[in-house]
Amino acid sequence: MKHLNPNTVTIPVAAAAAIVPLVSCTAAKSAEQAQQKPMNIVYIMTDDHTAQMMSCYDTRYMNTPNLDRIARDGVKFTNSFVANSLSGPSRACMLTGKHSHKNGFVSNEISVFDGSQPTFPKYLQNAGYETAIFGKWHLETLPTGFDRWEVVPGQGDYYNPRFIHENGDTIAEHGYLTNIITEKSLNWLENERDKNKPFALLIHHKAIHRDWLADTCDLELFEDTNFPVPENFYDDYEGRPAAAAQEMSIAKDLDIIYDLKMLNDTVKTPLKGTYLAFIGRMDSAQRAVYDAFYQPIIDDFYAKNLSGKELAEWKYQRYMRDYMKVVKSLDDNVGKVLDYLEEHDMLDNTLVVYTSDQGFYMGEHGWFDKRFMYEESFRTPLVMLLPEGFNRRGDVPEMVQNIDYAPTFLELAGVEVPEDIQGVSLLPLLRDEKGPEEWRDNLYYHYYEYPAEHAVKRHYGVRDDRYKLIHFYNDIDHWELYDLQEDPTEMKNIYGKPGTEEVTKRMMAKLKAAQEQYDDPIREQYPIAD
Ligand code: SGN
Ligand code: CA
């Protein structure tokens, strides 16, 4: 069966032809089911929320009872990854089901999404679905394929946020962004949509994006907790020049005012102006609560005059606490959506998806931010509540990627998955029809945004269930190989080391096959020998 999986990298041409009837057959079956009871989709996505900060994945840091509810009653993907670890690129991959080089949105800084291309919301509309998105969009052009949308400009504002409306107006609203996006979404579900139609609702939050400004009611939380720094917080990046060249270090690059809120009249930092603009959005009542919380911490910080290791670890603690406050609000808001769906008896015909646009570093390697193909940012959380007819429960270990969401939604709606979609529907896993033997055995990744903020060099690579091969290119030509079983935190680059010849050869062949399968033009610039 393995050769019949469209995403197995070594698919022979004849076998590729053989999958066509299979796909339409499954689609026809879904269409039949959908006629009996149309399936709805609620696709909740956050920004920069990493699995380490979700208790169903990792119990070290914080409780996320509502997100855990999804995992408990549904499924939790334990090997869920992105294709290009950055917001705009991830969103484009999810909408199109294609890697960045195919959907054209390779980088936040230089790309503009071509909204005329096919996307899953457009296919769903054609199939009679009503589609809506509220929250972060971040693709430069305005949304297409939605019957209703209201999105924040660019990265959006946490406090008293602005929304772009369909008529072109940009209007600020009073309150905290995560709450407002939820309210708009629930209002659409209750009062605005056509209740005779199946729907796809995208609730896309700015939370947990930098600079982690908490809702004023959550400011006091987590202040009594001290977190142990990760084992590799003081990584020296030996054997990893791209990791050494990055500018996303908690010690060096977190801005004491913008990121850590230590506002002071005399201290100037590069991002002080941006911070003042963000907190300047608050009204006087909100600001009074905010200042009352931070002022004693600010006074204490400047009185201590920390430096070196002490300062780095102080920054880490504040970073962790602020991040967690923002997650807490998100988790509460996810709970409101789940309650609504439950109270309205909608869960038996609604697929609820929770994911993030990528993972994030919580001090691992000494970092915040994402971008690298290393585990913390290559991964993304993915949990789902399944409608009737899908029997899988608990952990799903098969390797999945954000290009898989579009075909999953299409198949659920009974729409035949177009051949140019590169992801593969997850429904066979969710129906418990396919197991690891019939699934893909590796994933492809390509990151492009360089030179740019955080200085993460361009790279591509392939990961299987044990090894990861990465090539950093552009102003560097450097290979890395990791044995994730022996070295799960990716501290030892074993590329070129004696004894790795066989595995290097195998991983090179997988990389070459993946680049061919996905038709990445980079392979012409850096051809891999047979
Ligand atoms: C902003 C942030 C970066 C972050 C990018 C991309 N800087 O530019 O730290 O990496 O967004 O994030 S900030 O000074 O504006 O906060 S993404 O998730 O949207 O891709
Ligand atoms: Ca992001």
Instruction: Give the closest residue (by CA) to ligand 1 atom 13.
Output: 210
User: How many angstroms separate the Cα of 465 from the Cα of each of 111, 376, 399, 468?
Assistant: 32, 15, 8, 8
Q: What is the mean pLDDT of residues 134-148?
A: 98
- Per DSSP bridges, beta strands 467-472 and 478-483 are antiparallel
- Tokens standing for residue 446: 């390509």
Helix (H, G, I), strand (E, B) or coil at 254: coil
Q: What is the mean pLDDT of residues 501-509?
A: 98
Give bridge partners of residue 164 from the DSSP assignment: 151, 170
Instruction: Give the closest residue (by CA) to ligand 1 atom 10.
Output: 369
Rounded to the nearest angstrom, the distance between the alpha carbon of 89 and the centre of ligand 2 is: 9
- Tokens standing for residue 209: 């994006």
d(CA 95, CA 403): 8
Choosing from 48, 155, 247, 257 the residue with most ligand 1 atoms within 8 A of its CB, the one to mutate for a pocket test is: 155
pLDDT of residue 508 exceeding 90, the answer is yes
Q: What is the mean pLDDT of the chain?
A: 94
pTM, rounded to two decimals: 0.93
Angle between helices 177-187 and 308-343 (to 10 degrees): 10
d(CA 230, CA 364): 6
What does the pLDDT read at residue 294? Answer: 98
- Smallest CA-to-CA distance from 255 within 267, 243, 238 is with 267
Handedness of CA 211, 212, 215, 217 (dihedral sign): negative
Helix (H, G, I), strand (E, B) or coil at 463: strand
Rounded to the nearest angstrom, the distance between the alpha carbon of 473 and the centre of ligand 1 is: 22
pLDDT of residue 481 exceeding 60, the answer is yes
Give bridge partners of residue 445 from the DSSP assignment: 461
d(CA 79, CA 395): 9
What does the pLDDT read at residue 334? Answer: 99
Atom of ligand 1 nearest to the CA of 368: 9
Dihedrals φ, ψ of 462, to 5°? -135, 145
* Tokens 């230590």, residue located: 262
What does the pLDDT read at residue 24? Answer: 40
pLDDT of residue 352 exceeding 60, the answer is yes
d(CA 35, CA 40): 12
Instruction: Give the closest residue (by CA) to ligand 1 atom 15.
Output: 210
Dihedrals φ, ψ of 167, to 5°? -80, 5
The conformation of residue 192, written as its DSSP 8-state character, comes to: I
* Tokens 């149309």, residue located: 38
- Tokens standing for residue 485: 């079983």
- Tokens standing for residue 425: 């529907």
The conformation of residue 218, written as its DSSP 8-state character, comes to: G
- Tokens standing for residue 28: 């026809």
* Tokens 């919301």, residue located: 121
Specify the amino acid at residue 473: Y
pLDDT of residue 31 exceeding 70, the answer is no
What does the pLDDT read at residue 37? Answer: 79
What does the pLDDT read at residue 36? Answer: 66
Instruction: Give the closest residue (by CA) to ligand 1 atom 19.
Output: 87
d(CA 316, CA 310): 10
d(CA 39, CA 385): 12
* Tokens 């022996």, residue located: 486
- Smallest CA-to-CA distance from 357 within 374, 382, 324 is with 382
85-101, pLDDT tens digit by residue? 999 999 999 999 999 99
Ligand 1 pocket (Cβ < 6 Å) reads: 47-48, 86-87, 108, 155, 209-211, 271, 357, 369, 453-454
Atom of ligand 1 nearest to the CA of 255: 14
Q: Which residues of 94-132 are buried (b: 16+ CB within 10 A; e: fewer)?
A: bbbbbbbbbbebbbbeebebeeebbbbbbbbbebebbbb
378-412, pLDDT tens digit by residue? 999 999 999 999 999 999 999 999 999 999 999 99
32-70, pLDDT tens digit by residue? 444 467 999 999 999 999 999 999 999 999 999 999 999
Q: What are the DSSP E strand ranges found in 375-473?
A: 382-385, 394-396, 400-401, 442-447, 459-464, 467-472
The conformation of residue 366, written as its DSSP 8-state character, comes to: G
157-173, pLDDT tens digit by residue? 999 999 999 999 999 99
Atom of ligand 1 nearest to the CA of 358: 18
Q: What is the mean pLDDT of residues 479-487?
A: 98
Give bridge partners of residue 382 from the DSSP assignment: 355
Helix (H, G, I), strand (E, B) or coil at 259: coil
What does the pLDDT read at residue 512? Answer: 98
The residues, any chain, with a CB within 8 Å of residue 59's CB and separated by 6 or more, are none
